[in-house]
Amino acid sequence: MYQFNTLVIGSGLAGLSLAIELANCGQKVAVLTKKELSECNSYYAQGGIAAVIDNNDSIEGHIKDTLVAGAGLCDAKAVRYIIENSANAINWLIAMGVKFDLDDDTSTGYHLTQEGGHNFRRILHVADATGAAVINTLIQKVKRHPNIQVFENFVAIDLITGYKIGLADNQCYGLYALNRNIGQILTFAATNTVLATGGAGKVYLYTTNPDIATGDGIAMAYRAGCRVANMEFMQFHPTCLYHANAKSFLISEAVRGEGGILKLPNGYRFMQDHDERLELAPRDIVAKAIDYEM
């Protein structure tokens, strides 16, 4: 049996950044991932990361753009918290060693692009492989940290909770995981267990999500008695290169931000500017698309 202060399941940006921060505080941390560390949704992100770092930009402007793009479905408190802390998150990544593209002609010193849904150039990027650059940088930090132990090719099976082992409480005590290298189920005990396993986009046949996005963490949390919400929200990129016999390939959203227009075969522009979308309820947008199709 392995024993740690904190067990982090998942090796995306959320899991790796948390592992580094906890390890820096002296905790003994384990990071489990079902394949290699770099196989995560975060790695495949292309265009960049939105943050308010330009003095001509504003928190309120970014919040407005986000709420409009969310068509009235966003959690306003969560949106505000994330955007108010966006610059701090970028500065943390820079301190970790992420080398965002520079531009000496801008006041920020960074090359900022504009993506769909944004009214301002606030996207920091590393060429068009931002996710790969971020994850590779953090992987090096994780692998070199004396307080972090990495377990690659380990598939999380189920959380160990009090009810399951005959205790009166339902506290989480760790995890059972399958070591795919040797075909053996091992026990991980931890004071804290963190699910950073991402979503379940791969349950759909056609998706730009990698094969690991199968919702394991959501299922484990549900079986342990956690509340599960917002499962109706799945990300489908509006731009991808589709082939019936091969994996779909994501085309960066920066294409739309730089002026690309998406149209159906009948000419209907199905990703309206957010100013237009602001005036329509989500059901009206769908109805309008159907009218054009007919």
95 vs 92: CA distance, rounded Å: 5
Nearest by Cα to 45 from 111, 106, 118, 123: 123
pLDDT at 26 over 50: yes
Q: Does residue 148 belong to any structural domain of this protein? A: yes
Which whole number is the average pLDDT over 42-46? 90
| pLDDT of 105 higher than 60 | yes
Give a yes or no: residue 231 inside a domain.
no
Instruction: Looking at the structure, tell me whether residues 30 and 155 fall in a common domain.
Output: yes
Residue where a domain stops, chosen among 165, 194, 223: 223
Contact 208, 250 (CB under 8 A): yes
Percent of the chain surpassing pLDDT 90: 66
Residue 258: the pLDDT is 74
SS3 content of the chain, % helix, strand, coil (to 5): 35, 20, 45
Domain-embedded: residue 78: yes
Whether the pLDDT of residue 169 is over 70: the answer is yes
- In-domain check, residue 158: yes
pLDDT in tens, 50-72: 999 999 999 999 999 999 988 88
Residues 219 and 274 in one domain: no
| CB 278, CB 270: distance < 8 Å | no
Domain span including residue 100:
49-124
Mean pLDDT in residue range 145-170: 94
pLDDT given for residue 272 in this prediction: 64
Asked whether residue 255 falls in the same domain as residue 117, the answer is no
Q: pLDDT tens for residues 246-278?
A: 777 778 777 777 778 888 888 888 776 544 444
- pLDDT tens digits for 119-141? 999 999 999 899 999 999 999 99
Mean pLDDT of 279-288: 44
Kindly tell me if the per-residue pLDDT of 283 is higher than 80.
no
pLDDT of residue 18: 98
Number of domains in the chain: 3
| H-only helix segments in the chain | 13-24, 41-44, 59-69, 76-84, 86-96, 130-144, 216-223, 254-257, 274-278, 282-293
Residues with catalytic function: 283
